[in-house]
Amino acid sequence: MPRLNAGSLHRVSFTLNGRMVSGQAHARMLLSDFIRHVLGATGTHVGCEHGVCGACTVQIDGVPARSCLALAVQAEGADIRTVEGLAPAPDRLSPLQNAFRENYGLQCGFCTPGILMSLDALLRDRLDATEPEIRDFLSGHLCRCTGYESIVKAALDAAQKLRQERDRA
Amino acid sequence: MKPAAFDYVRAESIEEALDVLRQEGADAHILAGGQSLVPMLNMRLAKPRIVIDIMHLPGLKRIETGGGMIRVGAAVRQRELERQADLGTQQPLLAAALPWIGHAQTRNRGTVCGSVAHADPSAELPLVLVALGGEIELRSRRRSRRVAAATFFAGMMSTDRKDDELVEAVRFPMARSGAGYAFREIGRRHGDFAIVACAAVVDAQRAQLAVGGVADRPVARQLPLPGDPALEDALDAFAWDLDARDDLHATATYRRQLVRQLGRQTLEEAARCRA
């Protein structure tokens, strides 16, 4: 039975955006802090740190979840995806990211990485998601700039473009 | 907003988890999905010396049906139950309440038993368990026992669980033929804590209403059937007996009014679903 004592650092390894990564963490370190401060992937933002705002949302084993409500040591061996994993190349945006750009889906951008990770998972699951479904899914995210309208528009636009892409394939 | 220091134990068997609980008692906290415990750790409302992760125990990951019960193990996530095929016919009340728990992003990790063990008075799963007359399976190194939901919930985030006990599973009674079920909730926004949540079970003879978010625990009461003129007074008495308090989210007056209105609507919907 592995027991990681409070005072020592422990090695944590998992897949981050398809690459095996590892680093040292205390047992109490949150996954959000581990991703940002130990691994240096600062695309994931930290807001409320009690699971309400959704800014720190990442995908854990394929489903969106709050990285501030998981310990780094719990992620051992997991498959983690963050906003850095969305773009297919450094100079190209994903269809979802592009839809946000074209529809003014962000202003200050603080909530955006979390929202993108939720919507990316939703559209992977349900490309035919309706506006009420999208709004329900977004209820787990706070945005204080946009009033959500442009975010919903961007999500619907992305879904439509992804459906066209699918139908062409 | 960072947890205080603790040791982390990744249990590899139930016995190991129970041994640590027996040795450490109240200084040890069980970590399952973490959607209630980790906020408490972050805000330092909980400062355990040891956290025991039980999510790697295959024996706790099962959803089983049999003997008129849906048995949900301690490592089953809310999303897994929500996506269980046939849940809507096996137990429509559970299927109706699950989407109200937090958000999709928290249901992806939060467990069914974790919410029950946490015992927030406005939480949906304790309410459903009380409305249905479900049971909680508790296990320690000393014994295993089953407790009825109505006696398990002892107050605000307080339960009948002893310090050395693990909530191993919860048991939801399956739908009875001839009974109708309904769930309704009012909150400021979807996903917020319920101001008032109602769960109703109605059959030809009896109507039962359970209310969450008002008293310090979910409370169920037998009431006159919808359509009976005595229902209004009985709902009013129920609303007063729940001893509503003012807080940041709603006044006691508003909560009592919600119990009367939402309670009646939920009972009527359950009666309609009976057919």
Mean pLDDT, residues B187-210 taken together: 94
- Which of B97, B163, B82 lies closest to B130 in space, CA to CA? B97
Helical spans, DSSP H, in chain B:
14-24, 37-42, 78-82, 87-90, 92-97, 104-107, 112-118, 124-132, 149-152, 231-241, 252-272
Which residue do the tokens 């650092």 mark? A9
Q: Which of A1, A27, A66 sits opposite B11 (nearest CB)?
A: A1
CB within 8 Å: B3 and A28: yes
Q: Dmax over Cα atoms in chain B, in whole Å? A: 59
**Residues of chain A with C-beta less than 8 angstroms from the C-beta of B51:** 27, 71
**Residues of chain B with C-beta less than 8 angstroms from the C-beta of A63:** 79, 108
> How does pLDDT run across B2-57, given as a tens digit for each residue?
999 999 999 999 999 999 999 999 999 999 999 999 999 999 999 999 999 999 99
In a domain, A5, yes or no: no
The verdict on A38 touching B (C-beta cutoff 8 Å) is no
* pLDDT of amino acid B189: 82
CB within 8 Å: A64 and B10: no
**Measured between CA atoms, how close is A168 to chain B, in angstroms?**
31
Residue of chain A whose Cα is closest to the Cα of B6: A6
Distances (CA, A) of B143 to A115, B182, B214: 46, 36, 34
Q: Domain check: are A120 and A160 in the same one? A: yes
What is the C-alpha separation between B212 and B36, in angstroms, rounded? 17
Inform me whether the pLDDT recorded for A45 exceeds 70: yes
**Residues of chain A with C-beta less than 8 angstroms from the C-beta of B61:** none
**Measured between CA atoms, how close is A2 to chain B, in angstroms?**
6
Mean pLDDT, residues B146-169 taken together: 97
Are the C-beta atoms of residues B185 and B194 closer than 8 Å to each other? yes
Q: Which of B42, B53, B189 sits opposite A74 (nearest CB)?
A: B53
Q: Which of A52, A85, A118 is the last residue of a domain?
A: A85
* pLDDT of amino acid A155: 98
CB within 8 Å: B190 and A139: yes
* pLDDT of amino acid B192: 85
In a domain, A160, yes or no: yes
Mean pLDDT, residues A55-70 taken together: 98
What is the C-alpha separation between B112 and B95, in angstroms, rounded? 13
In a domain, A2, yes or no: no
User: Which of A50, A116, A125 is the best mutation test for B, with the most CBs of B within 10 A?
Assistant: A50
**Measured between CA atoms, how close is A153 to chain B, in angstroms?**
20
Q: Is residue A166 very low, low, confident or very high in pLDDT (cuts 50, 70, 90)?
A: very high
Q: Is B271 helix (H, G, I), strand (E, B) or coil?
A: helix
Q: Domain check: are A55 and A27 in the same one? A: yes
Mean pLDDT, residues B94-102 taken together: 97
CB within 8 Å: B31 and A5: no
Q: Domain check: are A69 and A125 in the same one? A: no
In a domain, A100, yes or no: yes
Average pLDDT, chain A: 97
Name the residue range of residue A44's domain. 10-85
Tokens standing for residue B160: 């009948």
**Residue B83: how many CB atoms within 10 A of its CB?**
11
* pLDDT of amino acid B62: 97
* pLDDT of amino acid A38: 98
Interior CA angle at A58 toward A56 and A59, to 5°? 160
Q: Domain check: are A133 and A103 in the same one? A: yes
Give DSSP secondary structure letters for A41-94: -TTS---SSSSSS-TTEEEETTEEEEGGGSBGGGGTT-EEE-GGGTSSBTTB--
User: Which of A11, A32, A37, A69 is the best mutation test for B, with the most CBs of B within 10 A?
Assistant: A69
The percentage of residues in chain B with a pLDDT greater than 90, rounded to a whole number, is 96
* pLDDT of amino acid B123: 97
CB within 8 Å: A33 and B2: yes
Mean pLDDT, residues A144-148 taken together: 96
**Structural domains for chain B:** 7-53 (3.30.43.10), 63-173 (3.30.465.10), 181-272 (3.30.390.50)
Q: Domain check: are A74 and A117 in the same one? A: no
CB within 8 Å: A27 and B12: no
* pLDDT of amino acid A1: 75
Q: Domain check: are A79 and A99 in the same one? A: no
Q: Domain check: are A137 and A70 in the same one? A: no
Inform me whether the pLDDT recorded for B1 exceeds 90: no
Inform me whether the pLDDT recorded for B275 exceeds 70: no
Q: Which of A40, A57, A85 is the last residue of a domain?
A: A85
Identify the CATH number of the domain in which residue A158 sits.
1.10.150.120
Q: Which of A33, A57, A85 is the last residue of a domain?
A: A85
Q: Domain check: are A60 and A80 in the same one? A: yes
- Which of B66, B46, B187 lies closest to B117 in space, CA to CA? B46
The verdict on A143 touching B (C-beta cutoff 8 Å) is no
| CA torsion through residues B82, B86, B90, B93, sign | positive
Count of domains in chain A? 2
Which residue do the tokens 């008002």 mark? B214
Considering the entire predicted model, what is its pTM? 0.96
In a domain, A90, yes or no: no
**Measured between CA atoms, how close is B167 to chain A, in angstroms?**
20
What is the C-alpha separation between A43 and A114, in angstroms, rounded? 9
The verdict on A4 touching B (C-beta cutoff 8 Å) is yes
How many CA atoms, within 13 angstroms, populate the side-chain half-sphere of residue B257? 6
In a domain, A4, yes or no: no
The verdict on A133 touching B (C-beta cutoff 8 Å) is no
**Across A108-112, B158-162, B191-195, B226-230, least confident range:** B191-195
* pLDDT of amino acid B76: 98
In a domain, A121, yes or no: yes
Identify the CATH number of the domain in which residue A74 sits.
3.10.20.30
Q: Domain check: are A78 and A108 in the same one? A: no
In a domain, A3, yes or no: no
The percentage of residues in chain B with a pLDDT greater than 70, rounded to a whole number, is 100
* pLDDT of amino acid B183: 98
